[in-house]
Chain A
Amino acid sequence: MLLKISWRNVWRNRLRSGVVIAAIALGIWAGLFVMALSVGLNNQRTRSAISTTLSHIQLHNPAYLKDSKVANFIPDGEHVTQVLEANPQVKAFTTRMIVNGMASSSAGGFGVSLNGIDPEKEARVTDIHDHLTEGDWFAEGKRNQVVIGAKLADKLKVKLRSKIVLNFQNEQGDIVAGAFRVAGIFKTVSSQYDESTAFVRMKDLEGLLGTPGQFHEVALLTSGLDEVQPVKEELKAALPDLEVRAWKDVSPELGYADEMMNTMLYIFILIILMALGFGIINTMLMAVLERKRELGMLMSVGMNRVRTFSMIVIETVFLSLIGGPVGILLGWATISWVHSKGLDLSAVGKGLESLGVGAIIYPELESGIYFNIAILVVVAAILASIVPAIRALMYKPAEAVRGL
């Protein structure tokens, strides 16, 4: 009966209850959408960083991480590749020779991180080749080709098939230089990366450095993000002389951003729920004031304090149980729809690029979040019902029954 009374009480003032239910639904909807947008943006940033540069795990000579001079190659590279080939959880790997140098054209010289790679292996690990806006990912049979970022091409004022000169130090510290022809120009979501990165074939770089079969970095993909940590541990055990780092170790800011985002999103949703809570308190206080005679009668005839308190709490929870799921459903539907289409934020595209994210955002949320929000809504409603319920208990039955 208490449930029946509470449920029917919700609909006594349809307009007022409707406004509260709509406020709850819209608040939850907006909160979920903003959460999904933020999560989507953060995940895109992470995925983009992993797929373009980081890969899942990187291996280095520990000395190279302290001092990135040419001599700090990965020792016993052949053994390393054998270990990687033997591990079934390693989906693909690529080796890189990385030197810092200068790219020059008639327009000037600019610092660049030069990656000597095997184009085929690299294409299995990263997706730079998919980001080409012009040219090819290293044409067969041609020597001294370079693929550079669009921003670097702009700064160097070079086009496809232009020649640029790459200068860098060899193992002995002597400056060596080579002329390379621009074979491709890429554009990723990170303008900073596009400005400072160039790729050449490993064998061309080996020729200039005189260090055949050596490399500084191994980048690899595991069969999934969940496998990263176990594979990292396995490789650490198998290759104790190397520094084995997961993507979160290589780029800790991405990991921190993940954690910070989660915390911030919960704070954000708590603020929304707090605002909704005050709305609920206001509505329920009005209801309790309006029903003073009725509550007085109920207490007079023997309705105890627990039942009176429960009636107000149940009524408030009903309001949230209608508004909450509607908001969650609306949020889920909106997020799914926008996720399938993408939200075009080209107007702030440059800002997003500097964050390492594309102009089109795909909002996304884990299903567990919806459940957590549902629980939070009910908890917020219960907390919000305490003030009106206590107000109801403060009535003196003899006075309340006469509306005094």
Chain B
Amino acid sequence: MSIIHTENLTKTYDSGAVKVHALNDVSIDIAPGEFTAIVGPSGSGKTTLLNIIGGLDTPSSGRIVIDGTDITRLSDGQMIDFRLNNIGFVFQSYNLIPVLTARENVEFIMLMQKWDKKKRETRATEMLQSVGLGDQIDRRPSQLSGGQQQRVAVARALASGPKFVLADEPTANLDSASTSNLLDIMANLNAQLGTTFVFSTHDQRVIDRARRVITLEDGKILSDETR
């Protein structure tokens, strides 16, 4: 059974005289534990697909079923709760809360899920240790490098045990060493915890590490290769 199932997804942006088909009849299935990259040139629809899978955007037509729940039927409020409890996000620009420390950033989602304080702190510390930042837990984002901030973002995405993690171009702002380090961490977490990762990327280093690569072009699936 797949954890992510999309069925004939289309997304059309209507800007007056011109209609842009960002997604055109996209149907995919992603199984639990996959380490999948969605690739393609700029404007191919990678980010749109990721946003729709993550419930941040709605399709013009089609269905998305996440672990048995048809999220296209959820209200705005239900969708926010669904995202909170089921999906981990890693963004291109790290997007940490600058006024919180690394540990507080990791704790944040667990806090919204109403985890007990002690449990939350322990889990956040463990997650930061697992991404190699055990000695940086009390630092604020501005005191961390880009690679370290992205590792905090990964720890935050994984801390509450989501069903899968969506990462939108997670290495776009990182140098080679940081990229390699981050990919190692994510691959290890995938292997150890069985967490499903779905990336959108055009970074060859990420593509090389993915076990499945879905290529999009002009909003359509051009190829779907499992290694």
- The chain A residues found within 8 Å of chain B, CB to CB, are 1, 4-5, 8-9, 12, 293-294, 296-305, 307, 396-398, 401-403
B77 at the interface (CB under 8 A from A): yes
B51 at the interface (CB under 8 A from A): yes
B54 at the interface (CB under 8 A from A): yes
Q: For residues 176 through 217 of chain B, which have their beta carbon under 8 Å from a beta carbon of chain A?
A: none
**How far apart are the CA atoms of A396 and B54 in the complex, in Å?**
13
**How far apart are the CA atoms of A391 and B154 in the complex, in Å?**
29
Q: Given A299-B80, A302-B81, A302-B83, check contact A293 B93 (CB 8 Å).
A: yes
Q: For residues 75 through 108 of chain B, which have their beta carbon under 8 Å from a beta carbon of chain A?
A: 77, 80-81, 83-85, 89, 91-93, 95, 97-100, 104, 107-108
CB pair A8 B80 closer than 8 Å: no
Q: Which of A4, A12, A301 contacts B84 (CB 8 A)?
A: A301
Residue of B nearest to A1 (CB): B111
CB pair A304 B81 closer than 8 Å: yes
B17 at the interface (CB under 8 A from A): no
Residues in A neighbouring B112, C-beta threshold 8 A: 301-303, 307
Given A305-B80, A397-B56: 18 more A-B contacts, CB < 8 Å: A1-B107, A1-B108, A1-B111, A4-B104, A8-B100, A293-B95, A294-B95, A296-B95, A297-B91, A298-B97, A300-B56, A302-B83, A302-B112, A303-B80, A303-B84, A307-B112, A401-B91, A403-B93
Residues in B neighbouring A8, C-beta threshold 8 A: 99-100
Q: Given A300-B56, A398-B56, check contact A294 B98 (CB 8 Å).
A: yes
Give the top 9 A-B pairs by smallest Cβ distance, nearest first.
A302-B84, A8-B99, A297-B95, A398-B56, A398-B51, A302-B83, A1-B111, A304-B80, A398-B57
Residues in B neighbouring A403, C-beta threshold 8 A: 93
Q: Which of A5, A302, A398 contacts B97 (CB 8 A)?
A: A5
CB pair B97 A294 closer than 8 Å: yes
Residue of B nearest to A303 (CB): B112
**How far apart are the CA atoms of A397 and B47 in the complex, in Å?**
13
Q: Can you list 30 contacts pairing A with B, beta carbon distance less than 8 Å?
A: A5-B97, A5-B99, A8-B100, A12-B98, A12-B99, A294-B95, A296-B95, A297-B89, A297-B95, A299-B80, A300-B83, A300-B89, A301-B83, A301-B108, A302-B80, A302-B85, A302-B112, A303-B80, A303-B84, A303-B112, A304-B77, A304-B80, A304-B81, A304-B84, A305-B77, A398-B51, A398-B56, A398-B57, A402-B92, A403-B93
B66 at the interface (CB under 8 A from A): no
Residue of B nearest to A9 (CB): B99
Residues in B neighbouring A4, C-beta threshold 8 A: 100, 104
Residues in B neighbouring A401, C-beta threshold 8 A: 56, 91, 95
B128 at the interface (CB under 8 A from A): no
Chain A facing B: main interface SS: helix
**How far apart are the CA atoms of A227 and B4 in the complex, in Å?**
81
Residue of A nearest to B86 (CB): A302
**How far apart are the CA atoms of A1 and B81 in the complex, in Å?**
18
Residues in B neighbouring A296, C-beta threshold 8 A: 95
Residues in B neighbouring A294, C-beta threshold 8 A: 95, 97-98
**How far apart are the CA atoms of A99 and B81 in the complex, in Å?**
87
**How far apart are the CA atoms of A4 and B108 in the complex, in Å?**
11
**How far apart are the CA atoms of A302 and B157 in the complex, in Å?**
11
Q: Determine how close the nearest CB of chain B comes to the CB of A8; give it in whole angstroms.
A: 4
CB pair A1 B56 closer than 8 Å: no
B109 at the interface (CB under 8 A from A): yes
Residues in B neighbouring A397, C-beta threshold 8 A: 56
Q: Determine how close the nearest CB of chain B comes to the CB of A402; give it in whole angstroms.
A: 7
Q: Determine how close the nearest CB of chain B comes to the CB of A93; give it in whole angstroms.
A: 70
CB pair B104 A300 closer than 8 Å: no
**How far apart are the CA atoms of A299 and B83 in the complex, in Å?**
9
Q: Determine how close the nearest CB of chain B comes to the CB of A238; give it in whole angstroms.
A: 71
Q: Which of A293, A301, A304, A305 contacts B109 (CB 8 A)?
A: A301
Residues in A neighbouring B81, C-beta threshold 8 A: 302, 304
**How far apart are the CA atoms of A9 and B104 in the complex, in Å?**
14
Residues in A neighbouring B92, C-beta threshold 8 A: 402
**How far apart are the CA atoms of A9 and B98 in the complex, in Å?**
9
Q: Given A1-B107, A1-B111, A402-B92, check contact A300 B99 (CB 8 Å).
A: no
Q: Determine how close the nearest CB of chain A comes to the CB of B94; give it in whole angstroms.
A: 9
Residues in A neighbouring B56, C-beta threshold 8 A: 300, 396-398, 401
Residues in A neighbouring B51, C-beta threshold 8 A: 398
Max chain A CB contacts within 10 Å: which of B80, B93, B100?
A: B80
**How far apart are the CA atoms of A354 and B81 in the complex, in Å?**
70
Residue of A nearest to B110 (CB): A1
Residues in A neighbouring B95, C-beta threshold 8 A: 293-294, 296-297, 401
Q: Determine how close the nearest CB of chain B comes to the CB of A95; give it in whole angstroms.
A: 76
Q: Determine how close the nearest CB of chain A comes to the CB of B46; give it in whole angstroms.
A: 13
Residues in B neighbouring A302, C-beta threshold 8 A: 80-81, 83-85, 109, 112
Q: Determine how close the nearest CB of chain B comes to the CB of A74; give it in whole angstroms.
A: 77
Residue of A nearest to B120 (CB): A1
Residues in A neighbouring B99, C-beta threshold 8 A: 5, 8-9, 12
Q: Determine how close the nearest CB of chain A comes to the CB of B10; give it in whole angstroms.
A: 17
